[in-house]
Amino acid sequence: MTGVLPLIKALGEPVRIRLYLLLKKTPLTVSELSHILDLSQSNTSHHVKALRELDLLTAEKTGQHTYYALNAETCSEPRISAALALLEQASGEISEISSDGVRLRTILAERSAETFTRWRMEQPDLPYSDIFAHLAAGRHGVLADIGCGEGDFFEAMALSFDRIIAIDIDAGHVRRAAEVRRLREKITVLQADAQRMPLADSSVDSVILRMALSQIPEPATAFAEAVRILKPGGFLSVIDTEGPAGKGLRKIVQDSIAGTAVVKLDVERLLPRLFMVRLQKL
């Protein structure tokens, strides 16, 4: 059993608190942690090893990559949980925390794009319209496209909806998405965090999260936000990865559905590398 004193000693270094907070959000490789923390891989490996020796982390090899995650059993021990909560309070005194969050989002976006690209290469005969036949449930009213990217799918979605509110946290994506001039009258592009959207409760008819949850550090929070802005009777559609890039993401969605009485599962479909779910708000 991990002792509290060794834990506090191990996490006494700010970089290890940063590492802990990153792995609390999502599993990451040493290479990804190295990039986010702006450390050499050997230095990062040293810090990961120190936390593994305390049984604070688990390691899962997937293909050529090893993903590190928090050991839920160890972290849930009452004394350890209390010590970790106390150490988390120190995060406000660590200036690098903000830049860590930005770099984490970049890593998750790159993972998501790579997975979707590989999937498209494996499905060369599947037209994009077939994807939206699943996603664009309802096909009327106002659609919220969360994690819209650069607006590559605006034209397909505009065929189904009267108006589109497109949301992305990346300023570059928002700028390029807003340049889709031929659709400007139908589309409003907002720069916003999917975990805290500037939209009213029950204000849109449909929501699409296409390869978006896997880019968000707290996908359950973003999912709850999507449900919040959806009108009763409206549809929420998710397409995302169930591979190592989105480890446990499908379960997060399933748990979110089970944890609320306001949505019901309409359709679920598993594809190579991806899963799709469509929900209806009650």
Based on the domain organization, do 165 and 263 belong to the same domain?
A: yes
The bridge status of strand 65-70 relative to strand 163-168 is unpaired
CATH of the domain at 146: 3.40.50.150
Burial degree of 229 (CB within 10 A; 0-12, 13-18, 19+)? buried
Question: Contact at 8 Å (CB) between 154 and 187?
Answer: yes
Helix axes 97-122, 14-25, angle to 10 degrees: 40
In a domain? residue 28: yes
Question: Contact at 8 Å (CB) between 143 and 205?
Answer: yes
Domain extent at residue 15:
4-95
Which pLDDT band holds residue 46 (cuts at 50, 70, 90)? very high
Residue 185, amino acid: E
Q: Alpha helices, DSSP H only, in 62-153? A: 72-75, 78-88, 97-122, 128-135
Where among 95, 117, 145 does a domain terminate? 95
The residue-averaged pLDDT of 27-34 equals 90
* Number of DSSP helices (H) and strands (E) in the chain, helices first: 12, 9
Quick: pLDDT tens for 103-115: 887 787 777 666 6
Position with higher pLDDT, 194 vs 133: 194
Based on the domain organization, do 86 and 205 belong to the same domain?
A: no
Based on the domain organization, do 89 and 134 belong to the same domain?
A: no
Using CA atoms, how far apart are residues 24 and 69, in angstroms rounded to an integer? 7
Based on the domain organization, do 74 and 148 belong to the same domain?
A: no
The total number of structural domains that make up the chain:
2
What does the pLDDT read at residue 2? 64
What does the pLDDT read at residue 254? 87
List residues bridging with 210 in a β-sheet. Answer: 239
Instruction: Examine the pLDDT at 270 and tell me if it is beyond 80.
Output: no
In a domain? residue 136: yes
What does the pLDDT read at residue 138? 59
Q: What mean pLDDT, rounded, does the chain reach?
A: 82
Based on the domain organization, do 152 and 53 belong to the same domain?
A: no
Instruction: Examine the pLDDT at 147 and tell me if it is beyond 60.
Output: yes
CATH of the domain at 56: 1.10.10.10
Based on the domain organization, do 90 and 187 belong to the same domain?
A: no
List residues bridging with 144 in a β-sheet. Answer: 165, 207
Instruction: Examine the pLDDT at 250 and tell me if it is beyond 70.
Output: yes
In a domain? residue 110: no
In a domain? residue 23: yes
Kindly report the CA angle at 52 between 48 and 57, in degrees rounded to 5?
90
Based on the domain organization, do 133 and 239 belong to the same domain?
A: yes
Q: What are phi and psi of 248, to 5 degrees?
A: 75, 5
| Long-range contacts (CB closer than 8 Å, 24 or more residues apart) made by 181-190 | 183/154, 183/155, 183/158, 186/158, 186/161, 186/162, 187/151, 187/154, 187/158, 187/163, 188/163, 188/164, 189/148, 189/151, 190/165, 190/166
Instruction: Examine the pLDDT at 172 and tell me if it is beyond 60.
Output: yes
Which pLDDT band holds residue 85 (cuts at 50, 70, 90)? confident
In a domain? residue 16: yes
Based on the domain organization, do 268 and 190 belong to the same domain?
A: yes
DSSP string, 213-254: GGGSSSHHHHHHHHHHHEEEEEEEEEEEE-SGGGTTHHHHHH
Based on the domain organization, do 74 and 156 belong to the same domain?
A: no
119 CB neighbour count, 10 Å cutoff: 18
In a domain? residue 166: yes
What does the pLDDT read at residue 245? 46
Based on the domain organization, do 154 and 252 belong to the same domain?
A: yes
Quick: pLDDT tens for 213-246: 888 888 889 999 999 999 999 989 888 887 554 4
The residue-averaged pLDDT of 8-20 equals 86
Based on the domain organization, do 146 and 277 belong to the same domain?
A: yes
Q: What are phi and psi of 278, to 5 degrees?
A: -130, 130
Based on the domain organization, do 91 and 140 belong to the same domain?
A: no
